Structure 1
Amino acid sequence: MNKEEQFIIGFRELYNKMVWLNKDKMEEGLKGYKPSEVHCIEYIEKNIDSNVTKLAESFYMTRGAISRLTKKLIKKGLIESYQKSDNKKEIYFRLTEQGKEVYKIHEELHKEFQERDKGVFEQVTEEQFDSMLSFLEKYNSHLDAEIKKQDLGIKS
């Protein structure tokens, strides 16, 4: 097995372990909410003037799928839609108070997980972080180009 294969397998194992370790606490703390709903709430809170197009691009989902998801979140009272006075065509989303509570719980859980894993990250040098971040940026750019090349229709 070459280093590329070792990396991809190691990355998958790492991700799967994180999901497995975090799963019970996430499900307990965010009972009644699907991961896609929570991630949509997180995106809306962190990105001003979120709309269907921006959400679809971020989650690599169709606009139709995002429309269904946002309608569910509106129905659950977690987000609300709004329009700007200068652009009545576009619909944007923001969190309601209930949505902000879900966001807060999610953030607190992530902080707890960060604290759990802090010891590992404290051992990483600035140079190592820079190298890893540079690689992630290059790989992400490559995958973006492949998606665009294949015109997978994800962002339409």
Structure 2
Amino acid sequence: MDTTPPSHSPPASKGSRNLGRLIMQLRRLERHPQTFGAAGSLTPSEIHTIVAIGYEEKILMSELAARLEVTKGAVSQLVVRLETKQLVTRSSYPHDSRAVLISLTEKGKEAYTAHEEVHLQFYDQLRSRLSRQEIEIFETCIEKLNEFLQK
């Protein structure tokens, strides 16, 4: 006779446990500053702001806040920190004197490029451990996970 008490929730699947572990690993990585070329050590929020601005792009402060999904005040604080590190510049928007354009300096562009290189190196290392079929499945799963998380 089975004396195990009935479970009120189904046991966690291997996939669910691994997804939880992946999320914890990503959170751990997001807490630590990293060095990005001549820009030096940048926090995750700083480098993500640089990435959101983009390599050749000028962006309105309000658009940057929307892209990062943070308040204008939070973006303003980030921009001040990045200006202090000489990674971004502010300029007036030609059509509205109240609006502010943010763009990357040459040093900011170096940080952007260094960040992209980190991602490429990581992905190359991951791909070296997978078969062609596993890579295709992985890329499909990541795409579907992103779509799911955007809902």
- What is the TM-score with the length of structure 2 in the denominator? 0.69
Aligned equivalents of 2:89, 2:123: Cα separation in 1 = 30
Distance in 2, Cα, partners of 1:3 & 1:136: 25
Which residue does the alignment assign to 2:147? 137
Q: CA deviation at 1:60?
A: 2.9
Which structure carries more relative contact order (alpha carbon 8 Å, separation 6+)? Answer: 1
Secondary structure of 2:100's aligned partner: strand
Residue 90 of structure 2 corresponds to 81
Q: 1:124 — aligned with what?
A: 134
Q: What code does the residue aligned with 1:122 have?
A: R
The structure 1 segments of at least 4 consecutive aligned residues displaced by more than 6 Å after TM superposition are 21-24
Q: Are residues 139 and 38 of structure 1, via their aligned partners in 2, closer, same or farther at CA, if it must alter by over 3 Å?
A: closer
What are the within-5 Å matches in structure 2 for residues 2-81 of structure 1? 2=10, 7=15, 9-17=17-25, 27-29=34-36, 31-45=40-54, 48-81=57-90
Aligned counterpart in structure 2 of residue 112 of structure 1, from 101, 104, 121: 121
Measure, in 2, the Cα distance between the counterparts of 1:32 and 1:125: 32
Structure 2: gaps spanning 5 or more residues: 1-8
Which range is displaced more, 57-66 or 118-127? Answer: 118-127
Greater Cα offset, 12-21 or 80-89: 12-21
- Give the length in aligned residue pairs: 140
Higher strand share: 2
| RMSD of aligned alpha carbons | 3.4
Q: Return the alpha-carbon distance in structure 1 between the equivalents of residues 113 and 131 of structure 2.
A: 24
Matched AA of 2:18: G
CA gap of 1:107–1:68, structure 2 versus 1, over 3 A, is: same
Greater fraction helix: 1
Alpha-carbon offset, residue 69 of structure 1? 0.7
Q: Normalised by the size of structure 1, how large is the TM-score? A: 0.68
Q: Do the aligned partners of 2:59 and 2:103 also contact (CA within 8 Å) in 1? A: yes
